Amino acid sequence: VELEKLASRKLRLSAKTTMTIAEKLYTQGLISYPRTETNIFPKEMNLTSLVEAQTGDNQWGAFAGRILGEWNGPHPRAGKKSDQAHPPIHPIKHTSGLQGDEAKVYEFIVRHFLACVSQDAVGKETTVNIDIAGEKFVGHGLTVLQRNYLEVYVYDRWSDKEIIDYEQIREFEPTSIDIVDGSTEAPKLLTEADLIALMDKHGIGTDATHAEHIETVKSREYVFIEDRDK
Question: Residue-wise pLDDT tens for the chain (230 aa)?
Answer: 789 999 998 999 988 999 999 999 999 999 999 988 889 999 899 999 999 999 999 999 999 999 999 999 999 988 888 888 899 999 999 999 999 999 999 999 999 999 999 999 998 888 888 888 888 888 888 888 899 999 999 998 776 677 777 777 777 777 888 888 888 888 888 888 888 888 888 888 877 788 888 888 888 888 877 765 54
Which residues are known catalytic residues?
33
CA gap 215, 202 in Å, rounded: 18
- Picking from 201, 186, 223, the residue whose alpha carbon sits closest to that of residue 14 is 223
Please give the pLDDT value at position 230: 46
- pLDDT score at 160: 66
Q: Which contacts (CB < 8 Å, 24+ apart) does range 139-145 have? A: 139/163
Q: What pTM does this model have? A: 0.80
Q: How far apart are CA 26 and CA 32, in angstroms?
A: 6
> What is the torsional sign of CA 112, 113, 114, 117?
positive
